[in-house]
Amino acid sequence: MKKHDSFIKGKMRSNESISRHTTFRIGGIADKWAEPLDMEDLQNIIKLGKKLKKPIYTIGGGSNLLVSDKKINGIFIRLSSPFFRYIRMKGASLTVGAGASLRSLLDFCIENGLTGLEFCSGIPGTVGGSVAMNAGLGPKRPESNIGNFVNQVTVSDKNGRIKTIKKKDLKFGYRTSSLGGFIVLEAEFCLKRARKDYIKKQCIEILEKKNKSQDCRKSSAGCVFKNPYGGFVSAGKLLDLAGMKKQRIGDAEISEKNANYIINLGNAKFNDVKKLIDIMRGKVKEEFNIDLELEVKICK
């Protein structure tokens, strides 16, 4: 395939292990791994995918993702070059590249006295993925979801065409938006001014709270299931009541801190996690007659 991708300016590798790019540390070998240098490069990679009839997958921080151990037919794209990681400020508005990490965005907000996104503390993803899935605290705290602060999003479609989608057409909901099928390129945020020390204090307090209730420092994909009933009932609580904490298959174990987390203890396989997911879902159905919906995305 080398002759097909010689015109790519950024990084392009064959037979890339995806496990090293996910927070779960699980994943097989992908046909191609691409890190485009700029927009022209990204469009050329999309064209290459169409020419070779290979699906395109975008990956940011690698959280919220469970990837098959098998050979994966497709091209994985990460927008890691500086071209996609900018943060530009105009008043209390920010225009942020999709490849920027939420950590770097929060650091920028603290440094420049912009409040609103403190709830993103501890989320390991990038801006692009976080906007697409409307990361945050769910419908119980609608003011603490990233879509609440997004004014517009610029995307590429599957043919490499660029367009801007306004807030009214983004259809943000609980862990969802209308951005499925697009590659997010940048997002514009509308924030408010506040004192730097106040914003920093909020971030620290939120991070400390998360560390107490979640296994943030261990290999996991984050929450396995969405909270049912539109986000108003805790999936973690249901799983805890169903006795699922510390249940284990191979090196995949349900967290003792939060029963909605599966931890990779070192050498967990895709099927270990998938079997555990099926058991968790079945147990909650049996005990409470509630169907849990996956939050983690499965790629196989």
Residues designated catalytic: 175, 223, 295
Q: How far is CA 95 from CA 5, 84, 87, 88, 105, in A?
A: 31, 11, 6, 5, 10
By CB neighbour count within 10 A (0-12 exposed, 13-18 middle, 19+ buried), where does 229 fall?
A: exposed
Supply 129's token pair.
């993925």
Strands 262-264 and 252-254 come out as antiparallel
Report the alpha-carbon distance of residue 228 to residue 226 in Å, rounded: 6
Supply 285's token pair.
């159905």
Report the alpha-carbon distance of residue 138 to residue 113 in Å, rounded: 25
DSSP state of 192: E
Report the alpha-carbon distance of residue 113 to residue 109 in Å, rounded: 6
How far does CA 182 lie from the centroid of its chain?
14
**57 Cβ contact partners less than 8 Å away, ≥ 6 residues apart:** 30, 74, 75, 76, 77, 299
Look at the chain and count its residues.
300
Is residue 153 within 8 Å of residue 188, measured between CB atoms? yes
Supply 69's token pair.
């151990």
Determine phi and psi for 112, rounding to 5 degrees. -110, 10
Supply 27's token pair.
């994943």
Supply 141's token pair.
């705290």
